[in-house]
C-alpha cells in the first residue's frame, strides 16, 4: 500500500505536472491571487514545445494489448480483402495507407474492417459494428469508432496487466458508466469468457446496448449507490472519465460501492482529471485562464475542485447536481482511499494526454 507521503514515482509525476502549470499560470501566493507568469522563450514562441513536455505517464507492461490480441486473429487473406474493399473508398484508403497500415495490423484495420462489415473480420475478432442512432449517447461515431472503444479498452487491459493481473483468468468485470457500451463490446470480444456487466444512469443508452449486445449484462444504475450486483462478485471494474465528473463526496460513496462489489484482491481501473488536465485545458484554450487559476489554487489548497457544469438539463437527460466536472490530485486519492484500497499504479495524463489513470486494488 502506498503511504500518504506518496510513492517516489507519484511525487515525481506531481512535481513535473505542477511545474508546467506554474510556468503557464504563475505560482499561488498567500498574499493574494497569483499573477500569470510568462512562459519561457521557447514555449512562448511555440506552445507545441510546452505540450511536448506535458508529464504523460505510461503504464507498465505491453501496450495496446487488446488491439494486438484481436488483430492476431486475422490472417493475410483477411487483410488483403480489407485493402481490396478500402480501395473502393479513397478517403479511408488514403488514411489507412498513411498511418494505419502496420505489421501486425492495428486499430485502423480493425475499425475499417468492421465499418465495411467484412464478414471474416467480424467473425474472427468478435467485434460487432458500433452504430448507435444519433439520439443515443455515444462518445465517438464514424469509421474509426466502428469497432468500439479500442483505445480505452487497451488502457484498461494494459493497466491490469501492468500490475500483474491475469485478465484472461478473470470471471466477472464491470464497465461502470458504460453509456451505450462502446468500450465494453471490445473487451467482451477480446475476453469472451468473462461475464461482463455494464451500468449507466442513461436509460436510452442502456436500452440500446442491451438490444445491440445481448450477451453482455447491461443495467441502469441510479445517481447514487447501490447497484444491483452482489458483494464481492467482481474480479475487476473500470471507469473511464467517470470520477472526472463526480463531486468529491459522491465520488467517495461510489468508491465505497466499488469496494463492496469487487472481491478482496480485485481491481478498479479509473481515470480522473488532475494536474496534467489543468495544463491540457489551459494550453489548448479549452477553459478560461481565470478558471484554470481557480482550479490550480483549489488543488493546492484542497486537493480537489468541482463545479456542476451541466445545468438544469443535465448530461443527456441525466440530472444530478453532483455530476459535473471534477479535478483530483494523487494526494487526495491517497488520503481518502487508503487503506481500504491499495494504489498499485498511477499514470499522469495517460488517457488522451489529459486524464490520469489509476489502478486500485481492494485491500
pLDDT at position 41 is 38
Q: Would the pLDDT of 39 be above 50?
A: no
Is 41 inside any structural domain?
A: no
**Do 246 and 337 fall within a single domain?**
yes
**Do 238 and 117 fall within a single domain?**
no
Is 8 inside any structural domain?
A: yes
Q: How many domains does the chain have?
A: 2
Confidence of residue 56 (pLDDT cuts 50, 70, 90): low
Q: Quote the percentage of the chain above a pLDDT of 70.
A: 83
Among the residue ranges 24-28, 177-181, 233-237, 279-283, the one predicted with the least confidence is 24-28
Is 88 inside any structural domain?
A: yes
**Do 193 and 222 fall within a single domain?**
yes
Is 239 inside any structural domain?
A: yes
**Do 110 and 185 fall within a single domain?**
no
Is 43 inside any structural domain?
A: no
Q: Which residues contact 41 (CB under 8 A, 6 or more apart)?
A: none
Please say which residue of 109, 133, 157 terminates a domain: 133
3-class secondary-structure state, position 219: strand
Contact of 313 with 319, CB cutoff 8 Å:
yes
pTM over 0.85? The answer is yes
pLDDT at position 147 is 96
Confidence of residue 103 (pLDDT cuts 50, 70, 90): confident
**Do 284 and 205 fall within a single domain?**
yes
3-class secondary-structure state, position 355: strand
Which range marks the domain in which residue 127 is found? Answer: 65-133
pLDDT at position 100 is 78
Strand 262-272 relative to strand 234-239, pairing: parallel
Cell numbers at 152, concatenated:
480505452
**Do 260 and 128 fall within a single domain?**
no
3-class secondary-structure state, position 267: strand
**Do 338 and 261 fall within a single domain?**
yes
**Do 202 and 249 fall within a single domain?**
yes
CATH number at residue 13: 3.40.50.150
Cell numbers at 228, concatenated:
444491483
Contact of 148 with 182, CB cutoff 8 Å:
yes
Is 33 inside any structural domain?
A: no
Q: Report the alpha-carbon distance of residue 320 to residue 331 in Å, rounded.
A: 26
Q: What residues form DSSP beta bridges with 175? A: 198, 238
Angle between helices 289-301 and 8-25 (to 10 degrees): 140
Alpha carbon 218 to chain centroid, angstroms: 19
Q: What residues form DSSP beta bridges with 195? A: 172
**Do 121 and 176 fall within a single domain?**
no
Amino acid at each position: 500500500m502506498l503511504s500518504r507521503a506518496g510513492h517516489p514515482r507519484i511525487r515525481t509525476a506531481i512535481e513535473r505536472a505542477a511545474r508546467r502549470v506554474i510556468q503557464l499560470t504563475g505560482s499561488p501566493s498567500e498574499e493574494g491571487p497569483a499573477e500569470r507568469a510568462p512562459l519561457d522563450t521557447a514555449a512562448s514562441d511555440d506552445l507545441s514545445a510546452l505540450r511536448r513536455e506535458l508529464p504523460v505517464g505510461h503504464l507498465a507492461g505491453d501496450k495496446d494489448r487488446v488491439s494486438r490480441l484481436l488483430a492476431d486473429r486475422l490472417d493475410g487473406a483477411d487483410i488483403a480483402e480489407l485493402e481490396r474493399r478500402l480501395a473502393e473508398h479513397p478517403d479511408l484508403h488514403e488514411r489507412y495507407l498513411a498511418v494505419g497500415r502496420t505489421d501486425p495490423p492495428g486499430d485502423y484495420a480493425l475499425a475499417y474492417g468492421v465499418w465495411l462489415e467484412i464478414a471474416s473480420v467480424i467473425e474472427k475478432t468478435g467485434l460487432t459494428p458500433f452504430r448507435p442512432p444519433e439520439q443515443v449517447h455515444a462518445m465517438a461515431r464514424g469509421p474509426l469508432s466502428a469497432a468500439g472503444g479500442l483505445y480505452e479498452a487497451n488502457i484498461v487491459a494494459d493497466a491490469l496487466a501492468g500490475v500483474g493481473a491475469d485478465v484472461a483468468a478473470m470471471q466477472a468485470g464491470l464497465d461502470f458508466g458504460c453509456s451505450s457500451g462502446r468500450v465494453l463490446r471490445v473487451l467482451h470480444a477480446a475476453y469472451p469468457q468473462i461475464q461482463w456487466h455494464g451500468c449507466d444512469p442513461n436509460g436510452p443508452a442502456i436500452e440500446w446496448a442491451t438490444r445491440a449486445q445481448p450477451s453482455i449484462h447491461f443495467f441502469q444504475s441510479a445517481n447514487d449507490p447501490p447497484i444491483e450486483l452482489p458483494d464481492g462478485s467482481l474480479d475487476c471494474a473500470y471507469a473511464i472519465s467517470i470520477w472526472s465528473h463526480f463531486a468529491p463526496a459522491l465520488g467517495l460513496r461510489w468508491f465505497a460501492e466499488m469496494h463492496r462489489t469487487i472481491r478482496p484482491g480485485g481491481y478498479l481501473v479509473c481515470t480522473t482529471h488532475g494536474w496534467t488536465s489543468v495544463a491540457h485545458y489551459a494550453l489548448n484554450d479549452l477553459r478560461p485562464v481565470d478558471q484554470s487559476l481557480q482550479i490550480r489554487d483549489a488543488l493546492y489548497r484542497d486537493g480537489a475542485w468541482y463545479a456542476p457544469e451541466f445545468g438544469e438539463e443535465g448530461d443527456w437527460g441525466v440530472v444530478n447536481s453532483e455530476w459535473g466536472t471534477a479535478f483530483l490530485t494523487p494526494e487526495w486519492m491517497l488520503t481518502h482511499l487508503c487503506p481500504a484500497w491499495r494504489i498499485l499504479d498511477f499514470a499522469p495524463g495517460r488517457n488522451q494526454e489529459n486524464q490520469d489513470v489509476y489502478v486500485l486494488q481492494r485491500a
